[in-house]
Structure 1
Amino acid sequence: MDLSGLAGLLAIAFVAAYTQTLTGFALGLIMMGGVGLTGVVPLPDAAVLVSILVVVNAVQVLAKGWREVAIRQFVPALAASLVFLGLGYWLLGLMMAASLDWLKIVLGLVIVVSSIQLSLKPEPLPKMSGPVSFGVFGAAAGVMGGLFSTAGPPLIYHFYRQPLKPSAVRETLVAIFATNALIRLGMVTVAGHLPSSSYWWGLTAIPVVILATYLAKRFPPPLSPVAMRRAAFALLFLSGVSLALPAIVKLASQAA
């Protein structure tokens, strides 16, 4: 990785961590979208880096807020996500073997759909959902986490509809994402798919994530939460379209 590529990766990591801290989501989506567009790191290697950064961000967030984790909702969602994490990782291998363009299309569509879903304000439910529903949404999150280390959107949507304190929702989600990331890192290690030594310079993004998280907490921008969500939506939507559209055009031209 050359200096310009590393600088681009660090800039993407800063924006992703800053947005994640303010909105509660988007670190993985922004990282994967930015890497997919710039090509500074291969997508499977970028997913490994995202897993590491998710854990780093979670350590900061949970250092004081771990007591807020909603255990009754955490357990079924996490259990289902871990079961389906392996399925997502297996699908990633299939797409990598088929075509990098297909991988970009799937990632782009995931980012676009997720951006639309996350931009909508979920209607609150009158009472807490049952454990089965948390398991279903956890399973969807597991597949996405296995594919691209982006487990957030399904669970974010479901949890923010529950009659839980915002702090409990945030800490529970962060705990689930961090656990998924750790397990995914273990799977990658066992499979022998760790990034080559030339890409481990990407770990310099760790202090960047720590700095961005601190700055977002200490000096948040003069924007309302709604404005921040809209900005995150626009960023994700445009990156998803820009990633998927060229790959779709390329495959269509090859098929013609």
Structure 2
Amino acid sequence: MTAPQALAFMAMAGVAAYVQTLTGFAFGLILMAAVALSEILPLRDAAVVTGVLTLVNASIMLAKGWTEVLKRQFVLVLLGSLPSLVIGYLLLEHLADNGLVVLRILLGAIIIVSSLQLIMPPQREERQAGDRSFVAFGVFSGLMSGLFSTSGPPLVYHFYRQPFPLVAIRETLVAIFGVNALIRLGVVFADGRFPDRQYWAAFLAIVPVMAGTQLARRLPPPISPRLLKLIVFVLLCASGASLALPAIPAALRMAGY
């Protein structure tokens, strides 16, 4: 990784942290989309770095709000997400070695579908969902965390439908993201797949992530939250399409069409 590439990655991470703090999610989506398009890092290594940065971001955000975490829902989600996280990680390893084209299509599709939450927020229900639903959404979340270190979209959709205080929802989600990132990092170490030294400069992005988080709190942009979400939605959709569409012809040729 060259110095310009490291600086570019740091800038991407800082912007992603800024947007994450303002919108409540999208850190992993933005960073993975930017990496996949720029090809600064292999997707496998980018997922590791994203996980570490997610853990840092979660630690900062939970420094004062950890007491608001919904403990029962937190445990239920982790019961579903931790086993599926390992499955998602193994799937990433397989696709990274044998199906990079499929991986780009999958990431592009996930980015586009997930970004819809920014302009179509879930409607809040009057009654809390059952325990099984939290476990089920945890399974989907863990799968996405294992694949791309982006465990947010399924949980954001489910939690924001519940009649919980918004502060409690936000802190619970951040706590889950942090634990998923920590477990995924443990799986990476156990598998001996930590990024090569040539990519270690990417971890310097911890500094802009911290700065982006604090900047969003103290200096939000002079636009409405709705307009900000619309802008992020358009950018994510364009990124997802740019990843998936060029890879589709190659995938069809691989399938014999």
TM surpasses 0.5: yes
Match of 1:15 in 2: 15
**Take 1:36 and 1:244, find their aligned partners in 2: how far apart are those partners?**
11
**Take 1:171 and 1:48, find their aligned partners in 2: how far apart are those partners?**
23
Bigger Cα displacement from structure 2, 42-51 vs 230-239: 230-239
Q: Secondary structure at the match of 1:122?
A: coil
Report if the CA contact (8 A) 2:44-2:93 is conserved.
no
Match of 1:158 in 2: 158
Cα offset, 1:57, TM superposition: 0.5
Report if the CA contact (8 A) 2:78-2:176 is conserved.
yes
**Take 1:118 and 1:57, find their aligned partners in 2: how far apart are those partners?**
20
Match of 1:228 in 2: 228
Match runs of 1:173-188 below 5 Å: 173-188=173-188
Match of 2:75 in 1: 75
**Take 2:249 and 2:56, find their aligned partners in 1: how far apart are those partners?**
37
Match runs of 1:1-256 below 5 Å: 1-252=1-252, 255=256
**Take 1:251 and 1:85, find their aligned partners in 2: how far apart are those partners?**
26
**Residue type of the alignment partner of 2:142:** G
Structure 2 unaligned regions, length at least 5: none
Report if the CA contact (8 A) 1:17-1:209 is conserved.
yes
Cα offset, 1:16, TM superposition: 0.5
**Take 1:205 and 1:216, find their aligned partners in 2: how far apart are those partners?**
16
**Take 1:47 and 1:230, find their aligned partners in 2: how far apart are those partners?**
26
Q: How many residues align?
A: 256
Bigger Cα displacement from structure 2, 243-252 vs 21-30: 243-252
Report if the CA contact (8 A) 1:81-1:138 is conserved.
yes
1:170-223 alpha-carbon deviations (Å, 9 max, x no partner): 000000000000000000000000000000000110001001111100100122
Q: Secondary structure at the match of 1:137?
A: helix
Cα offset, 1:133, TM superposition: 0.5
**Residue type of the alignment partner of 1:112:** I
Bigger Cα displacement from structure 2, 44-53 vs 111-120: 111-120
**Take 2:58 and 2:249, find their aligned partners in 1: how far apart are those partners?**
38
Report if the CA contact (8 A) 1:141-1:151 is conserved.
yes
Q: Secondary structure at the match of 2:150?
A: coil
Report if the CA contact (8 A) 1:118-1:157 is conserved.
no
Cα offset, 1:99, TM superposition: 2.1
Report if the CA contact (8 A) 1:52-1:181 is conserved.
yes
**Take 2:163 and 2:56, find their aligned partners in 1: how far apart are those partners?**
28
**Take 1:172 and 1:234, find their aligned partners in 2: how far apart are those partners?**
27
Cα offset, 1:253, TM superposition: 5.3
- Give the TM-score normalised by the residue count of structure 2: 0.96
